[in-house]
Amino acid sequence: MKYELVVGLEVHCQLNTASKAFCGCSAQFGKPANSNVCPVCLALPGALPVLNRRVVDDAVKLGLATGCSIAPHSVMARKNYFYPDLPKGYQISQFEEPICTEGHLTVDAGEGEKLIRLIRIHIEEDAGKSIHDIGDDTYIDVNRCGVPLLEIVSYPDIRTPKEASTYLQKLRQIVKYLGISDGNMEEGSLRCDANVSLRPVGDDEYGTRTEIKNMNSFKNVEKAIEYEAERHRRILESGGTIVQETRLWDADKGETRSMRGKEFAHDYRYFPDPDLVPVLVDDEMLLRIRLELPELPENRAARFVEEYGIPAYDAAVLTVERETADYFEGVVAAAADAKAASNWVMGEVMRTLKEKFLDIADFPVSPERLGGLIRMIGTGAISNTIAKQVFELMQQSEDTAEAIVEKEGLAQVSDTGEIERAVDEILAANPSQLEGYRAGKVKLFGFFVGQCMARMKGKANPKVVNEVLQKKLQG
């Protein structure tokens, strides 16, 4: 029997607010244990939560960006369960009345575009952290208690591990474009749980699902879903029954292992939080937030194709990160040559960022300076070869391309007499190659061009070199 994979994802996105969701404590990652705390975080008697307005704004932003309906009235609820790193004994979340519902994301995992529907996006606070690797004891750090999250829950529309990974990458791209989260999976800013099941191909009824936790990279999301799908298949084909449970992904062993029985909503005894008033979103607030939305990646890529005439592939690469797209537009403005700007940003700039482990915000060559370098290539002042040398030097100083070319004596040589002398010397020094060319080995032309450029240290105008060589070789 053939089975179809069915996956739904629950993603927790940590917001980059300065303070926590329900108190004024810092939400900054990496502070000493139990230093970002107050009576609200610690659930001391009499402490009352107050909802952070920025958290509501960020939830609405993400809802609008994903085509959700925004509820004019939503309610904060208590999600009750016991865990050592949860001092209150409950998380403040949303249940029956979330702030955003029925949205979607469009993804392309290599088989064409596909719509992944969203059930809901709701506000939630994070729990603390249990630390098990200090001696034989377990310690509790409550710094993370109350850090604001958005939980994004998809319908079970995902059919392959690659689709799941692509969906998660798309979601990360959007929250980064919106500026509401850094989307860092390693630090836990973006955490993903996958609900995985199999059903016979053609069936409408879903199979028993298991939930996978502890996937901290896009690749691990794919591997964990692949492993769990294969585990389900083996059990079903041997006549066994899938147990509904929560499982942990062990990246070192490349397998999932049982963690606990899967909870149901009624296990959490949700009820409206009596300490928090309902969240109201009126038309004025919606309009304000709509006006704050940036141009989203899909729209920006389409504009790049339309406005700058660059290929769709280039536009897609350049708009993966908002900062890269901004940098590219700055280069275009300075260079007045969109395709050349695209080539340089996708080529030399991205190569350098990768080699030096830099973010584009820290890249030392400004868009204006790179645009000036591209202009010099366009006017014939320098060759592409020299431009790459200048580009390296620009990373070590704040000088413009023009200043570096002048200081280093790198201006392109177009003087026909000087180039003719170099060509004559090259032909005289390589009689066997010259004889071979005239005997029909025309590919040797490239050899002579390379020799001439090397002799003139890359400063010769390639067009003039080609013209002079053709004339000499034909003679």
Three-state SS across the chain?
Answer: CCEEEEEEEEEEEECCCCECCCCCCECCCCCCCCCCCCCCCCCCCCCCCCCCHHHHHHHHHHHHHCCCEECCEECCEEEECCCCCCCCCEEEECCCCCCEEEEEEEEECCCCEEEEEEEEEEEEECCCEEEEEECCEEEEECCCCCCEEEEEEECCCECCHHHHHHHHHHHHHHHHHHCCCCCCCCCCCEEEEEEEEEEECCCCCCCCCEEEEEECCHHHHHHHHHHHHHHHHHHHHCCCCCCCEEEEEECCCCEEEEEEECCCHHHHCCEECCCCCCEECCHHHHHHHHHHCCCCHHHHHHHHHHHHCCCHHHHHHHCCCHHHHHHHHHHHHHHCCHHHHHHHHHHHHHHHHHHHCCCHHHCCCCHHHHHHHHHHHHHCCCCHHHHHHHHHHHCCCCCCHHHHHHHHCCCCECCHHHHHHHHHHHHHHCHHHHHHHHCCCCCHHHHHHHHHHHHCCCCECHHHHHHHHHHHHHC
Would you say residue 374 lies in a domain?
yes
If asked whether residues 402 and 386 sit together in one domain, one would say yes
Q: According to the model, what pLDDT value does residue 61 have?
A: 98
Residue 302: inside a domain: no
Same domain for 239 and 221: yes
The verdict on 356 and 429 lying in the same domain is: no
Assess whether 327 and 428 both reside in one domain: no
Sheet-wide strand order for 113-125:
69-70, 100-108, 113-125, 148-154, 3-14, 190-200, 210-215, 245-250, 255-261
In a domain, 116, yes or no: yes
Q: What confidence score (pLDDT) does residue 323 get?
A: 95
Pairwise CA distance, residues 156 & 116, whole Å: 8
Do 431 and 371 reside in the same domain of the chain?
no
- Asked whether residue 297 is domain-assigned, the answer is no
Q: Domain ends where: 389, 408, 427?
A: 408
Q: What is the CA radius of gyration of the chain?
A: 30
Q: Domain for residue 292, yes or no?
A: no
The 8 Å CB, 24+ separation contacts for 112-119 are 114/157, 114/163, 115/157, 116/154, 116/155, 116/157, 116/158, 116/163, 116/167, 117/154, 117/155, 117/157, 118/66, 118/68, 118/152, 118/153, 118/154, 118/155, 119/153, 119/154, 119/155
Closest CA to 278 of 99, 26, 54, 91: 99
84 & 197 share domain: yes
Per-residue pLDDT of the chain (475 residues; tens, 9 = 90+): 899 999 999 999 999 999 999 999 999 988 999 999 999 999 999 999 999 999 999 999 999 999 999 999 999 999 999 888 999 999 999 999 999 999 999 999 888 899 999 999 999 999 999 888 888 889 999 999 999 999 999 999 999 999 999 999 999 999 999 999 999 888 889 999 999 999 999 888 999 999 999 888 999 999 999 999 999 999 999 999 999 999 999 999 999 998 877 666 668 899 999 999 999 999 999 999 999 999 999 999 999 999 999 999 999 999 999 999 999 999 999 999 999 999 999 999 999 999 999 999 999 999 999 999 999 999 888 888 889 999 999 999 999 999 998 888 877 666 677 788 888 888 888 888 877 787 778 788 888 888 888 887 777 777 787 877 888 777 6
Q: Which domain covers residue 338, as residue numbers?
A: 310-408
What is the rounded CA–CA span in Å between residue 472 and residue 419? 12
Residue 294 lies in a domain: no
Say whether both 134 and 190 belong to one domain. yes
pTM given for the model: 0.84
CATH number at residue 420: 1.10.10.410
Based on the fold, state whether residues 98 and 215 are members of the same structural domain: yes
Q: Does 301 map to a domain?
A: no
pLDDT at position 262: 63
Give the span between the Cα atoms of 77 and 89, in whole angstroms: 13
The answer on 367 and 229 residing in a single domain is no
455 closest CA partner among 432, 437, 430, 431: 430
Domain for residue 293, yes or no? Answer: no
Into how many domains does the chain fold? Answer: 3
Q: For residue 415, what pLDDT is reported?
A: 62
Residues 8 and 52 both lie in one domain: yes
Residue 463's pLDDT is 78
Clarify whether residues 80 and 144 are in a common domain. yes
Same domain, 90 and 237: yes
Residues with Cβ within 8 Å of 326's Cβ and at least 6 positions away in sequence, in order, are none
Distances in Å between the alpha carbon of 425 and those of 182, 415, 436, 462? 59, 16, 17, 17
Given 366, 382, 408, the domain boundary residue is: 408
Q: Which of 355, 383, 408 is a domain's end point?
A: 408
pLDDT value at position 265? 62
